[in-house]
A and B are shown apart, each in its own frame.
Chain A
Amino acid sequence: DAKTTQPTSMDCAEGRAANLPCNHSTISGNEYVYWYRQIHSQGPQYIIHGLKNNETNEMASLIITEDRKSSTLILPHATLRDTAVYYCIVTSGSRLTFGEGTQLTVNP
């Protein structure tokens, strides 16, 4: 699986959009980009995934650059409950390799 690089931490004001970047410059053609988050002491929660095209669901949007070497997870209107560690994972198989993730703190 390709390695991913994420900022260690980010802050966001409540109600504003949170944009979480992820670099995956060694991604290969059949690898998907997945985003999960983990709120303290809970199991990770799936957010969204994509291959080439931008994706949107009820939780977030995923923007993947044309060369697929980076992506951005967008939480359009962050709330205090979005405070969590966000993991960007690249994989083509059935196992997930979690890195350090980004600690997102949403401030009132």
Chain B
Amino acid sequence: KAGVTQTPRYLIKTRGQQVTLSCSPISGHRSVSWYQQTPGQGLQFLFEYFSETQRNKGNFPGRFSGRQFSNSRSEMNVSTLELGDSALYLCASSLPTSGSSTGELFFGEGSRLTVL
């Protein structure tokens, strides 16, 4: 069974540019979450999508956005890049959950973004 696939694995951008990251969840998983990991702030939740709808959102500015497609694949976009956006962006997928448990999240290897 293939795991969560994130592309690209590494990328370099300059300030002011925008970037789009892609995530293909495990087959059958309908929930996709995105996290940002930096040395200073650690792992922080960005947003979660389920059945093409944003179900939850973290405390990030509007420059960070995402979407989910009908095949559950997800993309996140960061516009007007800042130096502080340099980070490892992690995607995680999970099966639909029945209510009060998040279930097991399967994380990808991440996309490492460097902003110069």
Contact = CB atoms under 8 A, between A and B. Distances in A.
Interface of A: 30, 32, 34, 36, 42-46, 49, 51, 87, 91-100
A96 B105 contact: yes
A43 B33 CA distance: 13
Contact of B104 (A43, A46, A98, A100): A46
A9 B45 CA distance: 24
A94 B97 contact: yes
B110 A95 contact: no
B100 interface: yes
Interface in B47-102: 48, 50, 55-56, 58, 90, 92, 97, 100-102
Nearest to B31: A94
A95 B58 contact: yes
Interface of B: 4, 31, 33, 35, 42-45, 48, 50, 55-56, 58, 90, 92, 97, 100-102, 104-110
B6 to A, nearest CB: 8
A91 B92 contact: no
**Most chain A beta-carbon neighbours within 10 Å: one of B35, B43, B97, B106:** B43
Contact of B109 (A32, A43, A46, A93): A43
B104 A96 contact: no
Contacts of A92: 100-101
B100 A43 contact: no
Nearest to A43: B107
A57 B22 CA distance: 32
A61 B55 CA distance: 31
A30 B100 CA distance: 7
